[in-house]
């Protein structure tokens, strides 16, 4: 009687599930580089890049701009094209105050499910909306929900944009009290070297400078205009002066290169 090796039957399923796992990793994990290069950290442990998605939002963005100005902090705003068309003056003001504008698609779809044509359309429409208002095209792109497809990053590159992800996404969209978000942001300032040297061992020069975080927060709500992001403002009002006191420097995505 012929005994079949169960591996022969199991192998295709294993390969398929392995590929599915790889695809999910490449599409979702913020630091995955499988589908192309992304930037998700700053150059130094002392540098903190604040990024804000889903605006501009007339209910929140002006207050956020004042708060950032009070602490002399520059940030990067990933804007949704449809909101840029609704708020051209606010878009202009974000740029005029020295912040970096990024492209966050036109209507905030999950690009993992968009083909190359639709993806290109989403990026170009947002790019045009921002260019029409500021006379400058963004050089940064962030995919909605962080979802990437195999063609996305190349399309962004072709339109002059690097893709920005994040080190930390505290979940400021969740309906929780500001205290919860303040607590979630506590670990940001803890500077962790990439590989901690062992006791008694000399610190190799190359590993001495570590990297700093890119934090993903939200001044808008992609589902509707005038979304409530008070907890984000409250948490930043708490942390901005403290981060400054800890010696952290606020940088834009341009300064992460």
Which residues make up the interface to Zn ion (CB under 5 A)?
A: 53-54, 144
Nearest distance in Å: CB 54, Zn ion = 4
> Which residue has the closest beta carbon to Zn ion?
53
3-class DSSP state of 196: coil
Nearer to Zn ion, 53 or 219 (CB): 53
Nearer to Zn ion, 53 or 106 (CB): 53
How far is it, in rounded angstroms, from Cα 218 to Cα 212?
20
Nearer to Zn ion, 44 or 58 (CB): 58
Nearest distance in Å: CB 214, Zn ion = 15
Nearest distance in Å: CB 22, Zn ion = 25
Nearest distance in Å: CB 72, Zn ion = 26
Nearer to Zn ion, 54 or 106 (CB): 54
Q: C-alpha angle with apex 107: 101 to 111, nearest 5 degrees?
A: 95
- The dihedral sign for the CA sequence 213, 157, 219, 29: negative
Nearer to Zn ion, 72 or 226 (CB): 226
If we measure between CA atoms, which residue out of 128, 131, 74 comes closest to residue 97?
A: 74
Location of structure tokens 């700093």: 212
Nearest distance in Å: CB 104, Zn ion = 6
Residue ranges of the alpha helices (H) in the chain? 6-28, 61-70, 81-86, 88-96, 116-134, 152-158, 178-184, 230-245
């Amino acid at each position: 009687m012929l005994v079949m090796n169960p591996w022969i039957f199991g192998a295709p399923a294993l390969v398929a599930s392995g590929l599915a796992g790889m695809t999910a990793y490449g599409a979702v994990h913020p630091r995955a580089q499988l589908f192309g290069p992304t930037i998700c950290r700053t150059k130094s442990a002392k540098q903190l890049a604040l990024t804000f998605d889903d605006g501009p939002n007339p209910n929140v963005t002006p207050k956020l701009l004042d708060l950032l100005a009070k602490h002399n902090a520059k940030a990067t705003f990933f804007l949704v094209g449809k909101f840029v068309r609704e708020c051209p003056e606010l878009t202009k003001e974000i740029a005029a105050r020295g912040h970096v504008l990024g492209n966050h698609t036109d209507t905030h779809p999950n690009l993992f499910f968009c083909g190359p044509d639709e993806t290109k359309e989403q990026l170009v429409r947002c790019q045009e909306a921002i260019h029409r208002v500021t006379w400058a095209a963004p050089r940064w792109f962030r995919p909605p929900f962080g979802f990437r497809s195999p063609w996305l990053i190349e399309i962004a590159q072709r339109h002059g944009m690097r893709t920005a992800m994040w080190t930390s996404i505290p979940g400021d969209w969740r309906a929780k009290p500001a205290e919860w978000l303040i607590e979630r942001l506590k670990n940001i300032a803890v500077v962790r070297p990439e590989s901690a040297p062992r006791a008694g061992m000399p610190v190799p020069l190359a590993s001495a400078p570590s990297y700093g975080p890119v934090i993903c927060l939200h001044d808008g709500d992609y589902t509707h205009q005038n979304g409530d992001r008070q907890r984000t403002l409250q948490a930043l009002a708490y942390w901005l002066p403290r981060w400054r006191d800890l010696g952290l420097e606020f940088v834009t995505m341009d300064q992460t290169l």
